[in-house]
Amino acid sequence: MISVLGISPTASATRGPVRPGCEVGSCRPLQNSLQKAPHSLTRGVWAVGSLFAVSLCRGDRAAIAEGRCERRGRKGASACRALPDQVPPAAASRVVIKPDAEAVAFELCAEVARAAKEAVAARGAFALAIPGGSILKMLVTGSSQLEGVEWDKGVLAYVNHKCVPNDDAAATHQKATELFLSGWPGMRVITMGGSAEGGAEAARYEAELRALPESTLPRSSGLPVFDLCLIGVGDDGHFGSLYPGREEIADASGRWVLAVDMKSPPSITLSPAAMMSSKKVLVASAGVSEKYPMGKSEAMKKAIEGMEGPRAFPAQALRSTACYLLDEAAASSLSEGYLS
């Protein structure tokens, strides 16, 4: 069972100024922010990026029809076009920089609360997707911002998860249970089946998601629409379990959940299309350690403005859909246009 953790979503002494276009609770479509990008790019390069673009801010769901996805076949399923070799740098208006890891955690949790409350007000339910890793700890650190969330009206899915029993020490679900799920009373969690069979687990997880009513998990063009999808990025650019050089990052099948048989045990992951169809995608990175004395600054630089291409650095595929929430360490390698 779970008890609410709480304070006002507006209370935080550590919040810094927010850039236009990624105001608290808002994220303008890329096409409204091109002129604010920190790089001067040719029209041709922007055109390449537009093939992969989709608006996260739900004022314009028609963005899917503007080039990122083509509709295919039965049941309204959507399949993404070929993954472009390069994607233009993220607009500066999509990058929010906070002083430190605590401020990032507070803002991240405020976004969770805001998304949940807006969805409940609109349709009586909300859907949230979270990854493992450092974001789990952010959901603890910033938990005071979650006051008033009606957890019993929500459903939680995992962005990715190892194919292990739910109570295994390596299971994201077990970590979430230990860290904060007891403070989310009544939240429905979509869990794993507990086997080590990646294909079977992916099919089962997708079936569980598809069984949810649209009032709980809306659909658009055959894809799920989470109210908020939280994402972390690895050193190699992976997000979820979408790794460099692998076919999953370019998946065009219309599936919601993929099996990734790369390590032992295998894992499942939301497909890139399923993640990017969310109402809002928030990439968060914060904190320093002995391993990362400057945080994941190089990874975030590549994710936001590098030109390796999404096959080599998968997180670059998120640029036209995500907002980025960073602390000063994670943002320290970004070009000046993102820092001013």
- 134-141 and 172-179 helices cross at what angle (nearest 10)? 20
- 101-123 and 134-141 helices cross at what angle (nearest 10)? 80
Residue 74: band (very low, low, confident or very high) from pLDDT cuts 50, 70, 90:
very low
Each domain of the chain, given as residue ranges in start order, spans 30-339
DSSP conformation class of 55: -
Question: Is domain 30-339 classified as CATH 3.40.50.1360?
Answer: yes
Planar angle of CA 176, 179, 182, nearest 5 degrees: 85
Whole-model pTM? Answer: 0.80
pLDDT of residue 121: 99
SS3 of 240, please?
coil
Residue 326: band (very low, low, confident or very high) from pLDDT cuts 50, 70, 90:
very high
pLDDT of residue 82: 66
pLDDT of residue 295: 81
Cα dihedral across residues 222, 323, 48, 236: positive or negative: negative
* Of the candidate ranges 52-66, 188-202, 249-263, the one whose mean pLDDT is the lowest: 52-66
Question: What number is the average pLDDT over the span 211-235?
Answer: 98
- Residue 44: what are its φ and ψ, rounded to 5°? -65, -40
When mean pLDDT is compared over 25-34, 50-59, 190-199, the highest value belongs to: 190-199
In angstroms, the Cα distances linking 162 to 231, 249, 284 are 16, 18, 21
Q: Pick the residue with more confidence: 101 or 56?
A: 101
Planar angle of CA 285, 206, 64, nearest 5 degrees: 65
Indicate whether 28 pLDDT > 80: no
In angstroms, the Cα distances linking 327 to 8, 21, 92, 101 are 22, 18, 15, 6
The number of beta carbons lying within 10 Å of the beta carbon of residue 241 is 24
- Residue 58: what are its φ and ψ, rounded to 5°? -75, 25
